[in-house]
Structures are given as C-alpha cells and as structure tokens.
Chain A
C-alpha cells in the first residue's frame, strides 16, 4: 500500500474521481444509527461522519462541539451518538468509496486530498529535521524560511507531484536539493501533509492542556459556601471517587454543563430526567418530561404511559429541572471559582 501510494499518485487521483460516481454512502447499520440520522441531519447530512475515523475521545469532542453549535437532542441521544461513532467509525475506519469529503461537512478541502501514509511521514520527518527544519522551523510553521503548513506549494501538492519540480528547480537551495530522490520527496510530502492535517481542527491540537491551576482549599470553601454545592452534593457521598471516574477537563465540563456528555475517560452516568407536573381540568398528572413547547406539554408517567395536553392559559405546568442550580451558577461563578472548584474535585480520588 505504501509503495502503491508513493509510485501511483496519478492512479490515486483517478480513484477519487471514480469514487465520486458511486452511489451515495450510508451509515453503518448498528445500534444508534437512527439517532445519528435524526439528530445530526437536522443541520447537515448525517453521512459527513463517514469522512474520517476518530477515537472515542475525538468523537466525544466533536459531539460536544456540535451541541454548542445548537445540535438538538437529549443527553441520552448524545451518549448514543458518541457511542455509535466511536464503535463504528473509529480510528481504523476506512472511508467508504464515494463518502468522506464528497458528502462534505466536517472535512473541508478537496475530495482528492492526500491521504497521509504514516510510515512515509515518519521517514519524511527524519529528512525534514536534517534538511529543512533549520529554516522552516520545528513545526514547519516558518522561521527564516516560509511557513510550510500554509504554503501554496504544499497545499496543492499530491504525493510529491508538485513538490518534486519545486524542490528540484525553484527552491532557493536548488543545487543542494537535486540529490533528493522521488521517494524521498514523497516521504517529505507525507510529512508536510501530516503537519497540515494536524493543524486542521480534527488534528492533535484539540485537547485541553491543563485545567488544574486552582487552589483546592479555596475550592472547598466555595463548594461549602457561596457556590452552595454542598446543598446537593457531598465529597464523601455522591461525589466520592469522582476524580477516578473523570479526568480534570471532564470534571470541569460536567460541573458547569451537566446536561452535556463531556469528553474524557469513563462512561456516561445515567442522566437525571426533568420531571413535570401538569394540572388541567382539576386533574393532575406527573412524570418525566417528554417535550414542551409553546403549544403542547407531554410527559411519561411512572407506569410508562404517555400523556399530552394542548397548553392553555388555565393549566398549571410545574417543571422540576435537576440541573437548574447549575444553570443559575453560570450567571455568577467566576473563572477563579471554577479553577478552584476543579482543583477541589480533583482531590476526590
């Protein structure tokens, strides 16, 4: 495969063209498929997820990012979606013919974009460090020489096809570069395209670096005092060993946004449902909220029976949202309170 990629760049381009003519791709048939279809396709074709395999952590971040962009679903829906994506479109996932960028969405750039060969990129890295780094910088973002991540030559290159004539005839250090073989330039091409991929938003620079900058004692004081956290939670009760279940960035996210499934280690805990009580025509029903808009309210009672009402001015609707205190906290909490609280939560091992 390696050799094939290096020596048949032309063929690879043709293959991409052929893919584009194949029938539309579809999501792998597995549990959760319908939820992905329903929730994701509200904003974009659900098949965009076929563009690139990702780890559970990366998918979790993607889902989290979509929620902040307005994706609509229950916490259980988002947990299902993350699970589906992690299981079916993991790092080893091979894009289906005709899928990927043709379907668009998460992956920008041309459909026939270079597919980085990791071992070629590793060989290219050694070459880069020896021959290029002193001018173009450790991350190829430029130094005394130009930035190569944003280089037009690199971005238009496919498997060394454009890089080869450039390095052999136009690069300022031409005489010294003429000894590079086509294979070496292809390796360099893979290395440089890897730097581009890493810079795109699905690359490795999508991880929280460190949120443990606060003071745990101050966090405890806030927990027991102004934050009123202790009115619902306790370090020895529901939060015991919480820091073993979640890493620090996840603790921070779950504390602030408990409705959103956060990235990081550990499975999602069962979410607390929103409860609702409806009194209409002298009768009262209560149960878990199914939906509520300006016009209708619906719940599922303890027996699992669905009830719905047209909303009227005379009816009484009481919603008990277990996360309301967290929502209210967002309006008041300071950044240092947050960092102190996370430092305190991190002590709960």
Chain B
C-alpha cells in the first residue's frame, strides 16, 4: 500500500512536470516518439517519416555514439533492446542496466544498475513506460520500476523463481493500466506464463499459463500432469496488441525438455503457438500452433506483426509471423484462421502442411541417437530480432538464415530432463527476405556475402529498409528492389531493432551494435 501511495505521488508529480509519456502517443504511428518496444502496438516497425529517403540516404552520417561500457566497465554487454524515445530521451537496457541518453546528442543523462543475484544474462529486450515510470526485467527474475527523470528505483517485485532456473529478458509492454511481462528460461524444465501487472503497485492482475493444467482444454495434447507441470513455453518476446479487438498477440516458446521429447508425446499446446489473449482478463481467445511437438528449440516467439490487408479481394485484419521453424504464417487475427502458410527459407523437417495450415513434423527429423540432418539449425530460420512490415510496399521483411545441423539425442533414458540432446554443426547462408503476405512468396531475397548473425529490421515511408548485415554493416536498402543504398561499419553486428524519430525537424536513425548505441542524421539536405 505504501509503495502504491508513493508511486502515485511520484507519477502525479512527473505528469505535472510534463516529463511523462503521453498515453495518446501509444496509439499513433511513431514520429516524434518511440513509446514502446515496436514503436507502436502493431509490431510493424514502420515509421511514417520520410525526410531520409531513397534519394538522399547516401548523405546519412554519424551524429553520436554512446558507449555503455562507460557505465558498465569491462563487462561489455550487448545492446539487444529496442530503445524507447520519449520527450527527447532514449531509454534502453542491457542485462542489469538501464540507460537514459539524450536523443539529440547521445550524452548520458543517468544509468541504473541492478545488484544481481544471478540468472542467465543472455540479453534484455528493453523497457516499458507508463507516465514517468519505466519498467525493466532483470536476469534474476525481478521487474524493477524506475523514475524516468533520474533512474531512481520506485519498487521491485519478483516475477519468477530464479532457483527453478527461470530468468527474464523481455521488454514490458504497457497497455492502458496493464504492464505485460514475459518470463524466460530454458535450462531445467519449467512452465511458461505471461502476466499483467498493475503499473503502480506491481500486483498481478492476471496470469496466462502457456501450458494447461490437467483437465483444461489443451491438456489432451500432453501425456501426463508431470509433463505439463514442466512443459516450457516461455514468453521471451514482447506481444503486439489490437486496440479495437482488445486482443493481445503473443508467440510462445519451445516445449521442455527442449530436445529430448520422449516423455512429452503429443502436440504440447500451447507451446510454439501464436495465441490471442483478451487484454482485460488474459483469457485465451484463439491459438494457432506453429510447430506441434517441437524437438528442435524452434520457439514461435518471433513478433506477431499486425496489419490490415486484402486476401482474395476481401479486406481482413491480419497477423503475420516469420517463425523460427522456417514457415511464414498469415492469420486472420480476429479468428486465428490461417490464410497462408509458406516456407520463407527452404527447410527439410516437415511432411507438408495440414488442412489448417500447420507444418506436419516428420518424425525421422526429430533428434536421433546417431544424428538427424535438419534445416533450419537450432538458431532457426528467423529468431527474436524483430522483422518489419511496410504498408507502402505490402512486403514483410525479415533477416533469415538457411543452415543445417545434426540433431542428437544424448540422454536415451525413458524420462530425459533438461536438454538431453542438442544440435551440432552450423555455417549456412543469411539473407534479408521480402515476403508478399498475399501469396507467402518471396518478392526478393537479398543474400548477404556471409552467413552469421541476424539483425532487426525497420522500414520507413522514405522507401527504406534499415537493418544489419552479418559483416557488421548497418545497411539501408531500397524497400522495393532490395538493393543496398547506404552502409556504415559499426564494428559489431547490429544487435537490436533500429528505430527512427524526428526532433527539431531532424530525422534520427538509431541502431545498437555490441555495447554501443549509434545515432545517425542527415548531414546535408538534398
């Protein structure tokens, strides 16, 4: 109660001083603000800004660099978070740290350090903002509320059990008076969930469990209560949201045990699924499972991107995902019905697609004691780096990978736990795919010269696609043709989703690469 009261006072004070996030900004296409992980709730990562465009992008140049190691020392985290930009300040994170940086000049305003009790320091996707409060998740299973003016802690709250090998990486998403938090962990078999918290008190408003309890719908896809209680389905990546349907769209993680699935026969709902949840109570509206009974660690957590379009001449509210398993799904987001299923890179693990649009796993391509050659490899055809949808070209852009590996079972006991297997091998090709959502076909493919790391994608009304290549370049491509128009070597692969915003009539383009955040502007107008 005390926390709630203090929080309310602080929030009130901040709103009076005009430094908080105007909630209206969350419903608009991002221009002078980037108020949430994806810029807006749709997950399109499309900016209506066009000052920087196909004609003048060659004059885009570096304005500033912020080096996080100036705050963290030699530890050297990697920026995987998408920054928010509110009232001229960028807010972003790496595990255990939050930074506030001047969006015009890259100078640090403050940074916050969390005293960690452990957890998997894999990455942090960013912060959420409500009024003048920032929310960040920590690897040791806490959500921390900060005063955005000075980075001071308002409160923190445990959101998962570190001892059971949960951890937390997701960016909280603020929708009205809900702070949506996801949890992570892939080591010892645990069930996944998504929670909605009160923005002021941090109290749980609702929880949705990825894996059902015995007797609930979906439980028939598991062999036992024990398998369900340890069934995985983490909520690694932030959700998207349709304010008209009041539905939250979430991609869920892999079932557990991850590779050795002998003791979890069945489809394992609702792991590796796209689910729609009612924002008010977290109840399931519909689901579509991308990989039934997966044994390859192919989370279906990739951003479910929302846009309106036409299918066979009829207007539809749509959702598209380029999933880690190599399939591109277009769903009607009102009903969850599949419109199109296609491969966005060639894969070898399925026997085709069933009548509801799901790939049919080939049991021979499950991990084997003597190895099974599978494509995609564990890294996936796509992974968490955010894709983009451009309503001007009607194309969906995703950095993809075509690679093989051998999947092995290491633990051949009747009840494998933890991993009990893994894949080995690697290499492969990387490419930026532009996908026509109406057909699921590749409109163009820009293959990079080497395989390797993947970067997030941003599209703009300037006809541009911004992303990173595996050779440490930040690249702008022509959204229509896929030809590269501009690049800059950032010394590390672009490690987050780039963003753009306009301040004082200047359009900035921001990308993180390794421990550094870079700000680009037009040196000269053309």
Contact = CB atoms under 8 A, between A and B. Distances in A.
B107 interface: no
Given A68-B379, A260-B425, A206 B419 contact: yes
Given A205-B410, A293-B450, A41 B76 contact: yes
A102 B417 contact: no
Contacts of B122: 44, 104-105
A6 interface: no
B178 interface: no
A211 B122 CA distance: 32
B140 A43 contact: no
A309 B87 CA distance: 43
Interface stretch (B24-32, B202-210, B317-325, B369-377): B369-377
B230 A150 contact: yes
A108 B449 CA distance: 35
A70 to B, nearest CB: 5
Interface residues of B, number: 82
A24 B373 contact: no
Interface string B116-127: 111111110000
Contacts of B378: 68-69
Interface residues of A, number: 75
B484 A294 contact: yes
B307 interface: no
B78 A44 contact: yes
A70 B122 CA distance: 14
Interface string A33-53: 000000001111111100000
A157 B378 CA distance: 33
A277 interface: no
Nearest to B484: A294
A253 B450 contact: no
B332 to A, nearest CB: 33
Interface stretch (B241-249, B282-290, B468-476): B468-476
Nearest to A257: B425
B486 to A, nearest CB: 10
Nearest to B417: A199
Interface in B26-78: 73-78
A123 interface: no
Interface stretch (B160-168, B232-240, B390-398): B160-168
B264 interface: no
Contacts of A295: 473, 484, 487
B116 A102 contact: yes
B187 interface: yes
Interface stretch (B9-17, B401-409, B437-445, B501-509): B401-409
Contact of A207 (B410, B427, B453): B410
Given A68-B424, A109-B163, A141-B415, A45 B121 contact: yes
Interface in B139-163: 139-140, 161-163
Contact of A335 (B120, B187, B371, B425): B371
Given A156-B163, A259-B427, A70 B379 contact: yes
A292 interface: yes
Given A108-B185, A109-B163, A327-B427, A72 B76 contact: no
Contact of A113 (B76, B118, B364, B401): B118
Given A42-B492, A335-B371, A256 B188 contact: no
B265 interface: no
Contacts of B271: none
B426 interface: yes
A338 interface: yes
A208 B371 CA distance: 9
Contacts of A11: none
Contacts of B452: 70, 72
Interface string B192-221: 000000000000000000000000000000
A210 B415 contact: no
A213 B122 CA distance: 37
29 contacts: A20-B116, A24-B74, A42-B453, A42-B514, A44-B122, A45-B76, A61-B422, A68-B403, A72-B493, A103-B121, A104-B120, A104-B122, A105-B120, A110-B163, A111-B116, A155-B164, A156-B163, A199-B417, A200-B418, A205-B410, A205-B411, A205-B416, A205-B418, A206-B410, A209-B409, A252-B371, A253-B424, A294-B471, A335-B372
**Nearest 6 interchain pairs by C-beta:** A104-B121, A293-B471, A111-B118, A199-B418, A68-B426, A110-B118
Given A68-B377, A252-B406, 14 more contacts: A64-B425, A67-B427, A68-B424, A68-B426, A108-B167, A109-B163, A139-B413, A201-B419, A205-B416, A209-B412, A253-B424, A253-B425, A257-B405, A338-B373
Interface of B: 73-78, 95, 115-123, 139-140, 161-165, 167, 185, 187-189, 226, 230, 364, 368-373, 375, 377-379, 401, 403-406, 408-413, 415-420, 422-427, 448-450, 452-454, 469-471, 473, 475, 484, 487, 492-493, 495, 514-515
